Structure formats: structure tokens, C-alpha cells
Amino acid sequence: MSTPGAARAWGLAGALCALVIVLDQGAKALIESNLVPGEQVDLLGPLGLTLAHNSGVAFGLASGGGAALVALTVVALLIVGVLFARNPTRVWMWVAVGLLAGGALGNLADRVHAGAVTDYVDLLSWPPFNLADVAITLGVAMLALSYLAEGE
């Protein structure tokens, strides 16, 4: 049975997920239309922009995974959905799930549409990444903190 708190949490997670997808896809489209692959633009100190296409998972690992990576993303989203469904009112859970789902779906859209994820944030000697990657990383951290805060 759904409670008003659970319904609110699902709504907030969905809204955050949609916001992440829109911002991620918008940033990627902007980069794709203004840079050529490998081009580097200095922004501020160690932060820059570059256009890279990643056919693997984070930082180019498992390059060329194709359908297996799509399946892995779907399985991960299902697991996150189950965790959320078990206790959607857990502290900060809606934020973690919204960030994770939005980031995963943003990168999944790239993978399905173009066969590779568009990366563009260039930070020192770190491999290029994108807004979806940041959302996924923050979502995982918040998910872990949410469980640690409640001792589970």
C-alpha cells in the first residue's frame, strides 16, 4: 500500500531523474555541436572541455561491451528500483535514486543511440567524463550514506 510519503518520494525521484537526463543530454548536444573529437578547451585552472566517445563503462573500461553493457545498466536500474520500492521514505533515498537513474538513463540513451557515451569534462589527468557520470557517482555515495545512516 502506498503512503503519501512514498508517493511524494517517487515523484521527487522521478523529477530529479528527468532533470538529470535533460541537463545531461543538453550538455552533450552542446558539446557535440561545438567541438570535434579530441579538441580541448581550457576553462578554469585544471578544468577543461574535450569531446570523447566512450564505448566502455566508466573511464573506458570494458570497451566495446555493446549489448552486455546495456543489459548491465538495465539490471542495475532494476536493483536500484527494488531497493527504493522497499523503503522510498528512507532519508535521502529519493535523491540517490533520482541521481542514479537519471545518470544511468542519460548514458544509456547515448549507448543505444550512438553506440558510445559522450564524455566532455576534462580534469587534470583524469579520463574525460560527463554530467551523467557525476550524477551516478553522487547517487551511489548518497545511497551508501543513506544505508549507513540507518545502520543497515
Pick from 138, 140, 117: which is nearest to 129 by CA? 117
| Residue among 24, 110, 122, 133 flagged as catalytic | 133
133 is catalytic: yes
| Residue among 24, 110, 119, 122 flagged as catalytic | 119
- What cell numbers appear for 19 in the block? 532533470
Distance in angstroms (rounded) separating the CA atoms of residues 111 and 69: 9
- CA end-to-end span of the chain: 23
119 is catalytic: yes
Distance in angstroms (rounded) separating the CA atoms of residues 25 and 44: 23
The catalytic residue positions are 119, 133
